[in-house]
Amino acid sequence: PGFKELINRISNNYITGLVTASPLRSLDWIREKIILDNYFQHIISGEETKKNKPHPHPYLEMMTRIRVKPKNTVIIEDSILGLRSALSSGAHVIARNGSVHRENLEIAHRIVDHLDEISLEFIDDLLQEDI
């Protein structure tokens, strides 16, 4: 919930990408079902990279494709494996509360309960922090 509104808020200021550990056939089904390409400028399945999450390679591959450094990247995750992958990539990481106990999300740089909490100012502030 809230991802379409989040993309609408940030897509004019930031490059958007989706990195998923899902197999390509699952990604392709979802991609077609909800037309993900209308929301994300770049999409990668971990199946397309040398190693999948929790290895950082899927995120590092996305950063290479969109030509952005980890220190200029913000990743939103909601799973432990995804958080480990994102943190290992060197990016700023936001954990979305909901599918994992909150105390397990405390490894992230920030935790949000809803994607509505993420504004342009929120992202700008996060990018200014040393990680």
H or E stretch at 27: helix 24-33
d(CA 6, CA 37): 15
**Which one has a higher pLDDT value, 97 or 131?**
97
Neighbours of 59 (CB within 10 A): 28
What single-letter amino acid sits at 85?
Answer: S
Mean pLDDT over the full length of the chain = 95
**Could you give the count of Cα atoms lying within 13 Å of 104 in the half-sphere of its Cβ?**
14
| Band of pLDDT at residue 117, cut at 50, 70 and 90 | very high
pLDDT in tens, 50-72: 999 999 999 999 999 999 999 99
Sheet strands side by side (includes 110-112): 74-77, 92-96, 110-112
**φ, ψ at 24 (rounded to 5°):** -55, -40
Per-residue pLDDT of 19-48, as tens digits, reads 999 999 999 999 999 999 999 999 999 899
pLDDT tens for each residue of 74-100? 999 999 999 999 999 999 999 999 989
Residues 110, 75 contacting (CB under 8 angstroms): no
Q: Nearest 10 degrees: CA dihedral of 113, 115, 117, 118? A: 130
